[in-house]
Amino acid sequence: MALFEPPRPGDREEIVGSDAATRALSVTAVENDFVAGVYENIAWFYDITFGPALHPGRVDAIERMGIKAGDRVLEVGVGTGINAALYPSDCAVTGIDFSSSMLEKAHDRIARKGVRNVRLLEMDAQNMTFADDSFDIVYAPYVISVVPDPVAVTREMYRVCRPGGKIIILNHFRSKSRVGSWLERIIAPFTLYLGFKSDLDLPAFLVQANLKPVSIEKVNIPRIWSLVTCIKDS
């Protein structure tokens, strides 16, 4: 599939000509303490379960970034550092996460693999301490459907990205199928305990976060995960 995929007419109509600006993104609401608790509990088996299954999407995302020598990359929700060795060695990567258990595993992984261009910080993605326009690429892999306020996190991502830089979101969003959408809403409160909401509404999310994607590409197998690429206005 092409990197820059124009939105289909139906997609455009759903995003613009509806209540996307006001409707709830999910049936579930969470707090930071709950999210931290979930990841404290699953950190030990995260790589075994979510590592292989979601790896193709991670590879696709980093390939699509077009990282150049010297680029400053921010990874939001770095987790166990599973992406660390995928980055080119000539860029500078900062990874942040709210979970100390995840970061502990990330430190171990980076040391074991000899990765020298990744630094790790414990930080709330909704309230980053970085200055405006600090990064060339800001990337959120499999995290937007976990955080309490996806819009707040995305606005912070936009803030710390430089003008003309890339904002990339890799995530599962609610199915457009009526049956699939219904099922995802039903199971959403339970999937939280696996670390994600299953029913995040992509059109509503894009509108409320004021994002204008240049591409939306399906990744992984099954192709129920979306790679969303946006460019910050210059």
pLDDT one-digit tens code per residue, 194-211: 667 778 899 999 999 999
Question: What pLDDT, on a 0 to 100 scale, did the predictor assign at position 39?
Answer: 66
Q: Are 91 and 112 in contact (CB under 8 A)?
A: no
User: 42 by DSSP, 3-state: which?
Assistant: helix
Alpha-carbon distances of 163 from 66, 98, 127, 135, 154, rounded to whole Å: 16, 26, 20, 9, 15
- Structure confidence at residue 133 (pLDDT): 98
pLDDT in tens, 38-81: 667 776 777 777 778 889 999 999 999 999 999 999 999 999 99
> Which has more pLDDT, 92 or 145?
92
> In the prediction, which pLDDT does 6 show?
40
The model's pTM: 0.83
Q: Which two tokens stand for residue 47?
A: 């790589």
120, two tokens = 């790790």
Fold designation for 9-231: Rossmann fold (3.40.50)
CA neighbor of 172 nearest in space, from 217, 224, 207: 224
Of the candidates 65, 186, 78, 158, the residue with the CA atom closest to the CA atom of residue 122: 78
Tokens, residue 38: 């979930």
Taking the C-alpha atoms of residue 58 and residue 144, their distance in angstroms, rounded to an integer, is 15
pLDDT over threshold 60, residue 37: yes
Residue 136 pLDDT grade (very low, low, confident, very high; cuts 50, 70, 90): very high
Q: Rounded mean pLDDT of the chain?
A: 85
